[in-house]
Each structure stands twice: as C-alpha cells, then as structure tokens.
Chain A
Amino acid sequence: MLTASAILTDGLVYAAYLFIVAIGLTLIFGVMKILNVTHGSFYAFGAYGAATAVGIYSNADWPAAAGFLFMILLAMTIGLVMGVVLERGLLRLVYGKDEVVIVLVTYATFLILEDVIVLIWGPQSYAAYQPMVAAGNIEIGELVLSNYDIVLVAIAAALAGIAYWALKFTRYGRLLTTVIFDRETAAAFGVNVTLVYTATFIVGAMLGALGGAVMAPKIAVTLGIGVEVIVLAFAVVAIGGMGSIEGALVGALIVGICRAAAVHLVPQIELFVIYGVMALVLVVRPYGLFVRAQPRKI
C-alpha cells in the first residue's frame, strides 16, 4: 500500500516536471511545425539562471517567498531574451526549409549554446537547494512529502488550466488555433502570422526556462542537463501527439507513473521503460495518442 501511494505521488511529481518542460516544446511544434532541440538550452539556461538567483538571494536577507519569485522571474527573463534573439535572428531565415533541416538548425544552435553556458557559468556545477529546504516537508499518513513538490504539481496544473483557457476563450488563442489549422488561409484572412510565430516562440522559450528554474532546487545544476531533458521531453510529446497540449499532459502522466513504478519495483529498467512505452504507443498510434493521421497530399 505504501509502495502504491509512493508510486502515485512520485509519478505525479515527475509528471508535473515533465509537463512543464514538454508544454513549451509541443506549443512551438503545434504552431510552427518546428521540433525545437534548442528547448534543452532554454531549460539549461533557466536552471543556471535560477541557481544564480538563489545564490544572490541567499547572500541577501530577503523573505523566502520573494526568493522563489525572484528565481522564476530571472529565469523567464532569460527565456524571453533568448526567444526573441533566436526567432528574429535565426529561425526567421529558415522558415521555408524542410522540417528536418530546421531540426538540424535548432540542433546546431543547441550545440553552440552548450558552450555558451560554459563561457558564462564555467564548468563547475551549482547547488540551489535553499528554496527546497525553506519549503519544508509535510506528513500524510506514513508518506513524507516535500511542500516544494506540491508547489510543482500546482504549477503544472495551473499551466494546463491557463493553456486551456487561453486557447479556447481568448482572442489570441482563437487566432492561434486558426494558424495551427491552416497557416495560409489564416494569413489570407488577415491574421499576422509572423507576429503569431514570434509570440509563440517566445512563450515556448519562457516555458522551457521556467521548467529549468523550478527544477533547479531539486537537481545539481551541471553541464549536460539540457541534453537529458530534451530527449525526455521528445518522448512525452511523441506519446501524446506532437503539438497537442492535452497530449503532453497525458504523455507526462503516463511517463511519470511508469517511471515511478519502475524505480520502486524494478530499478534496472528505469531508463528503458520511458522509451519502451513511447515505442509501444507509436506502434499502435503512429502519430501519438491525441493526433489523427493526416491524409496524404498528392
């Protein structure tokens, strides 16, 4: 019983983290049809930014909640700047090219940014555990949960809610839906597609940085975290269906619970299970759970 509830809570926390990372990736793919490898860099920069913020904060004498907010704000500002620079400075130049070629462009950018991290923050790793410690623990029955994990799940839930509301009930969301459905027709009806693209990419970049920021206190912020996260986020998005936000949510839950079950029951297959589930889903539903197969154009 304890194992079952542990699997469920661990799985939920892990799913929350996966969802926060994957939602930006799936948003950019849904709107722009770009599989953005640079998302891993957004995550890494967010995490490093948050670690820097925690460093500044723990030297000053500010209240705990303000420190958490400062950390998130700094990371999202970094995401904003990176998003603007990349979209306007680089991606704009390659929009007409093959989808696969654009993946390679983002891959090249990712490689460059990996070394930029070393240039800015150096090769050493950073610890940013203070917010996690400040949040404390809560005991429910026999389970000990970190309050920070509960906040993480709340943030993921809030993001899912906001995304749903923004897409269905706001003017910008409706415009976005038309662009997703048919870019050219939307443009013909006077939607400013260029602006929608830029805005989407910036929001996606900020979400990636946010993912890094909220995870920074839970991990050692070190080189290579972007590499790990990008493959994980791909798996989540592929399971749910590329470009689908509810798909990212379901994919994150599936991967989260499966991984937690593996960690508690058969730790040897922890890594295997994530990609095993992905391959299995893709065998049955080639384009993911929430995307219908497209008719082929002659």
Chain B
Amino acid sequence: MGGKGQLVGGLMFLIAAASAPLLPDWVISLATIAFANALVVLGLVVLWRVGLVSFGQALYYCIGAYTVALTARWTGFNDAFGLVLMGGLAAGLMAILIGFLLARYREIFFAMLSLALSMILYGVLVKTESLGSTDGFAVTTPTFLGFAPHAQALGRALYWLTLGVDAVAAVLIAGYFRSVSGSLAAPIRDNEIRVEFLGVSVTNIIHTKVAVAGVLGGFGGALAALAIGHVDPNMAYWTTSGGFVFVTILAGAGSVAAAFVGSLVFEAVRSFAVDVMPGLWQMTLGSVLLLTILFLPDGLGSLMVRLRRRGETKATRAGS
C-alpha cells in the first residue's frame, strides 16, 4: 500500500469515527465487534503472509478478554484504556512464551499445535467453577479516564476506542510489512532455507510474527469483552479460531485494509444470515469459504487488485 492507499485508509477511519452519532445503536454495536475482531484477523494476516495458519488464535483472544474481565472483577480497576492495554500485553506475553515452542513448526503442525494450546485454555476455563464454568461471567461497565458514560454514550465511546486501537494497529502493521523482517514474508513462504542462507534467522522472524499476532489477538479480545459485556470459555474454542481463519482467507493477505473490510462484511452477513435463515448459517459459511478457495485463492482483496490492474491497462491503451 503506497502513500495514496494510506490517505484513503485514514479518510475511511475518520468517516467511520465521525459518522458514529448518526448511526443507529445496532450498527454501532455490530461495527464495534467487527472492528475488534478485525485485529485478530490482522494478526492472522501477518502469519498467513509466511504461509502459516493458526487454528488456535482464539487463545490470545480469550486471554485478552479474560484479563480485562478478571482485572476489573478482582481489583475494581475499570478504566477502559488501562484494561485494553493490559489485555493486549497479557496475550503478547503468552505469545512470546509459546513462540519459543511454536516457531519450530510449519504448515499443519503449526496449525495443530496452536489448536491444542487454545484447547488447553478452554479445558481449564470450562472446569473452573469459580469463573462461571461454561457460562462465563459478566464484565463490569468500564469508565474512560474518570468519565462513566451510560447506555448509548457507552456504546459510542467503546466504538471510538476500538477505532482508535485499530488505527494505531493499522499504521504499525503497514509499517511492519514494509520493514525488512516484514518483506521477507514472501521469500520465507517460497523457500525458507534460501532465506537462512542470506544470514537471517527464519525462526526469529516467525517468533516475532507469532508475538505480533498474539498482541493483536489480545487487543481484539479485550475490546470484544468490553463491547459484549460478558466473557465465556467459548472464546477459546477452536470454532472461534475457525471463524477468524475464515475471515482471513476471505479477505486475503494482500493488504491491511482487507482485514477490516473483511471483518465488517463478515459480521454484517452473519447478522443478516442468522436473521433470514437461522438453520443454514454454517452451510452458508462453508459454501462461501469453499467458493473463495476454488475461485479467488488470494481472497476478496485480490479482486480489487485485479480490477485496478484492468483499469490501468485500459488507461495505458487509451494513452498510446
């Protein structure tokens, strides 16, 4: 994404933030969840660029969410900024630790081991009755630097907070993709050993990516916990991870923006599909995923690239 792309992205964020007072409540709450989940998807995009798929990203999502919920419950501290920061950092810490193990694995083994680790957390949470077992528990209403908004204002405040975190994450990750470590993603995907011959440690790069994806997952979970107002062990279940992977494949790893657009489209389609044909939601999901893999292997983002290229060739033809 060049300078023009960033400008457009920044404008979109400003429009999304400024339009909040005009939008109905249900759109705000849907968009908050979508933009919180987009952070997890962004983390998966970071991994997908080296060809890795984590079927256990819900681990960090859940750690972020439970960190927020437990801190508020045990210490009474309920400032939204502080809580979200803690959620992201806790998940990041876990990702760094797990990274020592996970960075040695590739392909299916990477996917399976991350799946197993998230299932360990799920198993522990389900059996912990003091934390509500499978029911989970409610998250206390957060305050914002001393302000305690209610009802409608609270929804707007959380929406803006989520957008703010998203904007920071988008800028940082776009910068990371342009850095040396970020641009080595495609070469690593093609042939790891040749990259190592260049004098670069592939294990270290993948460890970094696991940590980055973990931090993003934690922030996503922390924001989602505040937005939903409730946490439960299902946040760590593998079907939750599967949903994130689904959006990643749908969006494609082409750009940072794809993660946000993809996540928004996914949440919107889900809320309509569940309304219109409640029994066939999984079938819709599966069919779309199948069609994407078969006909759009690089995701919906590649569609935009294809259209732009077609536009450019037309322009050059017209010019010559």
Answer whether A and B are interacting partners. Answer: yes
Write the residues of chain A forming the contact surface with B, with a CB cutoff of 8 angstroms: 35, 90, 93-94, 97-101, 103-105, 107-116, 118-119, 123, 227, 231, 234-235, 238, 242, 267-272, 274-276, 278-279, 282-283, 286-287, 296, 298
Could you tell me if B126 and A94 are in contact, using CB atoms closer than 8 angstroms?
no
Nearest neighbor of A98 in chain B, beta-carbon distance: B51
Which of the four size classes fits the interface of chain B?
Answer: 35 or more
A111-B109 CB under 8 A given contacts A238-B116, A271-B119: no
Name the prevailing secondary structure of the A interface residues. Answer: helix
Chain A residues with Cβ below 8 Å from B192 are 296
Could you tell me if B117 and A109 are in contact, using CB atoms closer than 8 angstroms?
no
Chain A residues with Cβ below 8 Å from B150 are none
Could you tell me if A242 and B120 are in contact, using CB atoms closer than 8 angstroms?
no
Cβ < 8 Å to A, chain B residues 231-255: 238-239, 242, 245, 249
CA gap between A282 and B107 in the complex, in Å: 15
Could you tell me if A100 and B249 are in contact, using CB atoms closer than 8 angstroms?
no
Write the residues of chain B forming the contact surface with A, with a CB cutoff of 8 angstroms: 51-53, 101, 104-105, 107-109, 111-113, 115-117, 119-120, 122-124, 126-128, 191-194, 238-239, 242, 245, 249, 279-283, 285-287, 289-290, 293-294, 297
Chain B residues with Cβ below 8 Å from A105 are 290, 293
Chain B residues with Cβ below 8 Å from A115 are 279-283, 286
Could you tell me if B194 and A286 are in contact, using CB atoms closer than 8 angstroms?
no
Could you tell me if A279 and B113 are in contact, using CB atoms closer than 8 angstroms?
yes
Could you tell me if B108 and A100 are in contact, using CB atoms closer than 8 angstroms?
yes
CA gap between A35 and B53 in the complex, in Å: 13
A111-B101 CB under 8 A given contacts A103-B111, A278-B116, A287-B109: no
Q: Which of A35, A110, A270 contacts B127 (CB 8 A)?
A: A270
Chain B residues with Cβ below 8 Å from A90 are 290
CA gap between A94 and B287 in the complex, in Å: 15
CA gap between A217 and B40 in the complex, in Å: 40
10 residue pairs A–B, Cβ–Cβ below 8 Å: A100-B107, A100-B111, A101-B293, A101-B297, A104-B289, A109-B290, A111-B286, A113-B286, A119-B279, A286-B109
